[in-house]
């Protein structure tokens, strides 16, 4: 198999001719719109936090440098506490967030806000100590001892800060890359402990709450709401669904070296409304696997109570999955994800770009997107022909539906140049700027493809991506 030939490019040009009803609508894609709504909601909380702070900051009380530093310390503490709640809410698997905004976008916001949160919490501690020391004319070291041992709940709050810093350190890219996913994940759960430890000092020392019952009520209500969301969507719903639908492994089929498809059956799976392009978090109740859950996309359009995932052996768990037996019980969370047909602008043609394990949701979309002929084109990027997993199935779909299918095989720096260069993309899909583009593949490939797409005039709002790394 080789990269696309000149004749197939001509064929694509012929298939991909524009049609009058497919003019750009100019509306933002659904996913992008919902991400903006989410950002607005998060930002809306900031004035509320400022109002809580302002209410207790009698303007005339800010007289000297020490007052200003203390005020900055209180403000950074309030913002850190607010952002901590936002971080937990973002990861609560709230269906609107997972399925409208998209799990990958939510994870990206979580990551970025996480960095600010740790910085604000550390700034809070430093500024409060400096401010108090300034106000009372002591040195910061003595003031640290006073705050730690004479103010209520400060040892708990210090432990909370230490945990937050630890989570921040293990989440730094350089450190995270070196850690097994499970280690990173379990350390990350300490954020819940940090919130619980920090809560007491907010009420006992925080002037904004100790003197205002209404602020205490509001703050407690926000914590209870977020805790309830975590409990319902991360525990109750998955347990109820797993018990109700009784999902089991039906069979495991090899798809080539290091890749297997797992067919799953269960009771009334259609009720769950899973869509092509979505993923679930799977917990296989087998030795060595039951204690961890991993996200895998549906690799075929869900139908008649049957699901299928395709797993590439990238580590311990994905390798062990190939040894599963028929009948193994499976617990699951989901379906999740907004990488679905709903992201497509109405009546617009679609280009799908896949690489590596990213073919799985793309394969399901390719099978189920409406249209005929050049309405849907799939570019499948691989370094070697044997990496084109599921290719015979794709050929079969292309044959049945007349969709375009182009394997782009070869190294990035081969004699023919980068198979995903802007020139090559335009050659294969001349009307590319008018299409909605769905991209799923390794981070570097997806990023490079998105860059070329923008160069070719595809607006950001019509580039839909699914990331396999959270
Ligand atoms: C939304 C989504 C959909 C995915 N769909 C597929 C798919 O259809 N087919 C497929 O082969 N792979 C898919 N993946 C990737 C797959 O989840 C990981 O390859 C798998 O979890 C690796 O686990 P491991 O223990 O075998 O490997 P490890 O060696 O532990 O990890 C290998 C890589 O996977 C990441 N990873 C490990 N566990 C998780 C986890 N629970 N959640 C997120 N990332 C993790 C690690 O950070 C690392 O980058 C998907 C990932 C995401 C986020």
3-state class of 284 per DSSP? strand
Say yes or no to pLDDT of 6 above 50: no
Q: Give the closest residue (by CA) to ligand 1 atom 50.
A: 468
CB 401 within 8 A of CB 393: no
As a whole number of angstroms, the distance between CA 290 and CA 7 comes to 50
Asked if 298 and 363 sit in the same domain, the reply is no
Say yes or no to pLDDT of 337 above 60: yes
Q: Where a domain ends, among 336, 367, 385?
A: 336
Say yes or no to pLDDT of 15 above 70: no
Q: Where a domain ends, among 303, 336, 369?
A: 336
pLDDT in tens, 60-99: 777 889 999 999 999 999 999 999 999 999 999 999 999 9
385 within some domain: yes
7 within some domain: no
161 within some domain: yes
Asked if 117 and 207 sit in the same domain, the reply is yes
pLDDT in tens, 124-174: 999 999 999 999 999 999 999 999 999 999 999 999 999 999 999 999 988
Q: What is the pLDDT of residue 16?
A: 36
CB 229 within 8 A of CB 178: no
pLDDT in tens, 23-58: 333 344 556 788 899 999 999 999 988 888 887 776
pLDDT in tens, 215-243: 899 999 999 999 999 999 999 999 999 99
User: Ligand 1: residues whose CB is within 6 Å?
Assistant: 180-181, 279, 294-297, 299, 309-312, 314-318, 357, 360, 468-470
93 within some domain: yes
Asked if 38 and 140 sit in the same domain, the reply is yes
Asked if 310 and 428 sit in the same domain, the reply is no
State the CATH number of the domain containing residue 178: 1.20.120
197 within some domain: yes
19 within some domain: no
State the CATH number of the domain containing residue 445: 3.40.50.80
Q: What is the pLDDT of residue 31?
A: 63
As a whole number of angstroms, the distance between CA 8 and CA 395 comes to 14
Strands 259-265 and 306-312: antiparallel
Which domain does 208 fall in, by range?
30-241
Please give the distance, rounded to the nearest whole angstrom, from the Cα atom of residue 111 to the centre of ligand 1.
Answer: 17
Asked if 184 and 57 sit in the same domain, the reply is yes
| Number of domains the chain contains | 3
Asked if 36 and 182 sit in the same domain, the reply is yes
Tokens of 296: 């895998």
Confidence bin at 367 (pLDDT 50/70/90): very high
CB 220 within 8 A of CB 213: no
Q: What is the pLDDT of residue 29?
A: 53
Altogether, the residues listed in the chain come to a count of 470
Among 295, 331, 333, say which to mutate for ligand 1: greatest number of ligand atoms within 8 Å of CB.
Answer: 295
**β-sheet bridge partners, residue 256:** 259
Q: Where a domain ends, among 224, 241, 258?
A: 241
**β-sheet bridge partners, residue 283:** 331
Q: Which whole number is the average pLDDT over 168-194?
A: 91
Of ligand 1's listed atoms, the one at least distance from the Cα of 298 is 8
CB 373 within 8 A of CB 399: no
């Amino acid at each position: 198999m080789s990269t696309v030939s000149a004749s197939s490019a001509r064929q694509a040009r012929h298939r991909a001719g524009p049609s009058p009803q497919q003019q750009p609508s100019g509306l933002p894609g659904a996913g992008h719109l919902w991400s903006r709504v989410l950002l607005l909601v998060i930002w809306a909380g900031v004035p509320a936090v400022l109002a809580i702070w302002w209410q207790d900051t009698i303007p005339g009380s800010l007289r000297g440098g020490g007052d200003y530093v203390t005020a900055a310390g209180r403000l950074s503490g309030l913002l850190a506490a607010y952002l901590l709640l936002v971080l937990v809410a973002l990861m609560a698997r709230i269906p609107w967030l997972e399925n409208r905004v998209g799990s990958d976008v939510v994870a990206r916001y979580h990551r970025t806000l996480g960095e600010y949160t740790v910085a604000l919490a550390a700034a809070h501690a430093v500024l409060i100590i400096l401010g108090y020391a300034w106000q009372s004319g002591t040195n910061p070291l003595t003031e640290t001892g006073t705050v730690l041992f004479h103010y209520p709940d400060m040892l708990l709050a210090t432990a909370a800060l230490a945990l937050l810093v630890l989570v921040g350190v293990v989440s730094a890219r350089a450190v995270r890359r070196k850690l097994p996913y499970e280690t990173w994940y379990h350390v990350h759960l300490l954020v819940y402990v940090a919130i619980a430890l920090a809560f007491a000092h907010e009420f006992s020392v925080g002037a904004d709450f100790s003197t205002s019952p209404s602020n205490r009520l509001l703050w407690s209500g926000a914590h209870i709401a977020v805790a309830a969301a975590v409990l319902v969507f991360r525990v109750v719903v998955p347990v109820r669904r797993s018990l109700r639908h009784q999902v089991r492994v039906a069979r495991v089929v090899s798809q080539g070296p290091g890749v297997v498809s797992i067919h799953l059956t269960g009771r009334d799976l259609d009720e769950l409304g899973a869509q092509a392009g979505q993923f679930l978090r799977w917990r296989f109740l087998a030795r060595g696997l039951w204690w961890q859950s991993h996200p895998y996309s549906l690799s075929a359009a869900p139908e008649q109570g049957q699901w299928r995932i395709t797993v590439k052996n990238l580590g311990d768990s994905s390798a062990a999955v190939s040894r599963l037996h028929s009948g193994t019980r499976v617990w699951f969370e989901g379906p999740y994800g907004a990488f679905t047909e709903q992201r497509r602008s109405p009546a617009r043609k679609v280009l799908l770009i896949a690489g590596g394990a990213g073919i799985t949701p793309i394969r399901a979309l390719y099978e189920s997107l409406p249209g005929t002929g050049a309405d849907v084109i799939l570019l499948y990027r691989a370094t070697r022909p044997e990496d084109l997993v599921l290719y015979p199935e794709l050929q079969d779909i292309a044959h049945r539906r007349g969709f375009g299918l182009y394997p782009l095989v070869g190294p990035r720096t081969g004699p023919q140049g980068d198979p995903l260069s802007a020139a090559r993309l335009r050659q294969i899909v001349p009307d590319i700027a008018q299409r909605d583009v769905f991209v799923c593949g390794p981070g570097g490939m997806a990023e490079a493809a998105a860059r070329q797409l923008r160069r070719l005039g595809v607006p950001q709002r019509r580039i839909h991506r699914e990331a396999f790394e959270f």
